[in-house]
Amino acid sequence: MQQFFGLNITGKPNEETLEIMRKPRCGVPDTGNFMITPGNPKWKQTNLTYRIINYTPDLSEAEVETALEKAFKLWSRVSPLNFTKTSQEEADIKIAFFQGDHGDNSPFDGPNGILAHAFQPGPGIGGDVHFDAEETWTKTSRNYNLFLVAAHEFGHSLGLAHSSDPGALMYPNYAFSEPSTYSLPQDDINGIQAIYGPSSNPVQPTGPTTPTACDPRLTFDAITTLRGEILFFKDKYFWRKHPHLRRVELNFISLFWPSLVNGIQAAYEDFDKDLIFVFKGNQYWALSGYDIQQGYPKNIANYGFPSSVQEIDAAVSYRGKTYFFVNNQFWRYDDQSQSMEPGYPKSIASSFQGIESRVDAVFQKNSFFLFFSGPRYYAFDLSAHRITRVERSNRWLNCR
């Protein structure tokens, strides 16, 4: 398990491993670093039928049918497969909601934990999908989104195993993504096409790819420290870097903060309050560990920004002052008086000589501000008032 999730391999259930084990997930075992189920099971035909045995009371029957149909379309869009709902007794894929022990040697465990499981292609129970009836199923970000979980389980019904790519639909742990804009990730497209071949569409569909830490073009949206760790935000993901571990962990933002927006633009840690503040557009949120504080989001006007400032590029807190970087200027906020200091904004270049381009992200370490701009970072010595080092940004992710 530790190897599958990219954790340090100790053979013991350390805190990192236990943290992963507590996340809601699929009940199909993690059997290795491959996408196709061992033995390469597949359907011989490309026209498959499915039957809904029963429904959850959490949604209307129409809402359940819409979610399942949409989930099947994710797979049919990128492969030669077609799915047809049937009311006939016999169907290739039977879908049902069960609780506890339901006779397939894979009992459910009640709310949270195991959400659903599915069986590989084949006769009898092969291809069937079971959802835990004790979960609360929704069509939103609350609790567990039926469309997202169904789409994952249908991947198993078609012959896919779990993927170790954290951005893949077939990653075993549940993470919310907005259903209205969801596209099947490229890792999943590659997997299903390895089994059934490409789509018959003249233009082959493509999907989003998971950011690669050692891509020399990699840039970050925001960076902040958090209780000794460093968090690097990129799109809907973030990397966690622990000060005492070499490994860097990539996760969905929604895996840790399910109701937080993606595309964070700025972030900083308030050490005195033990909070991190994250910004997107003209709104900001306060996070305590994995919890979003009540009363958020709030408008950045609360900091004293003029109405002309509608988003923050980067932020960092140091010695009771919070620095906000916007285009080629920066503001300084006094944490004690909770107000902007007079005389700001100032030019970034005038106070941080050598920082000429827009700041994408910044954090503080010892007596340095680490400014990230494009694929490079600049170490600015706050005592010497000059840049002392320029290197590739992803060196922080252990890339050479």
Q: Which residues are catalytic?
A: 153
Measured in degrees and rounded to the nearest 5, phi and psi for residue 5 equal -85, 5
Q: What is the DSSP string of 324-374?
A: EEETTEEEEEETTTTEEPTT--EEHHHHSTT--SPP-EEEEETTEEEEEET
Q: Is 21 annotated as a binding residue?
A: no
Q: Is 48 helix (H, G, I), strand (E, B) or coil?
A: strand
Q: Is 162 annotated as a binding residue?
A: yes
Report how far residue 352's alpha carbon sits from residue 147's, in angstroms, rounded to the nearest whole number. 49
Q: Is 58 annotated as a binding residue?
A: yes
Report how far residue 227's alpha carbon sits from residue 212's, in angstroms, rounded to the nearest whole number. 25
Q: Which residues pair with 329 in a beta bridge?
A: 326, 347
Q: Is 110 annotated as a binding residue?
A: yes
**What six digits make up the tokens of 192?**
């299903």
Q: Is 130 annotated as a binding residue?
A: yes
Q: Is the dihedral of CA 117, 122, 124, 127 positive or negative?
A: positive
Q: Is 170 annotated as a binding residue?
A: yes
Q: Is 126 annotated as a binding residue?
A: yes
Q: Is the dihedral of CA 197, 200, 204, 208 positive or negative?
A: negative
Q: Is 223 annotated as a binding residue?
A: yes
Sequence-distant (≥ 6) Cβ neighbours of residue 62 within 8 angstroms: none
Q: Is 242 annotated as a binding residue?
A: no
Q: Is 267 annotated as a binding residue?
A: yes
Q: Is 132 annotated as a binding residue?
A: yes
Measured in degrees and rounded to the nearest 5, phi and psi for residue 191 equal -65, -50
Q: Is 385 annotated as a binding residue?
A: no
Q: Is 65 annotated as a binding residue?
A: no
Contact 242, 236 (CB under 8 A): no
Report how far residue 70's alpha carbon sits from residue 56's, in angstroms, rounded to the nearest whole number. 17
List the binding residues for Zn(2+): 26, 102, 104, 117, 130, 152, 156, 162, 170
List the binding residues for Ca(2+): 58, 92, 109-110, 126, 128, 132, 135, 221, 223, 267, 315, 360, 362
List the binding residues: 26, 58, 92, 102, 104, 109-110, 117, 126, 128, 130, 132, 135, 152, 156, 162, 170, 221, 223, 267, 315, 360, 362
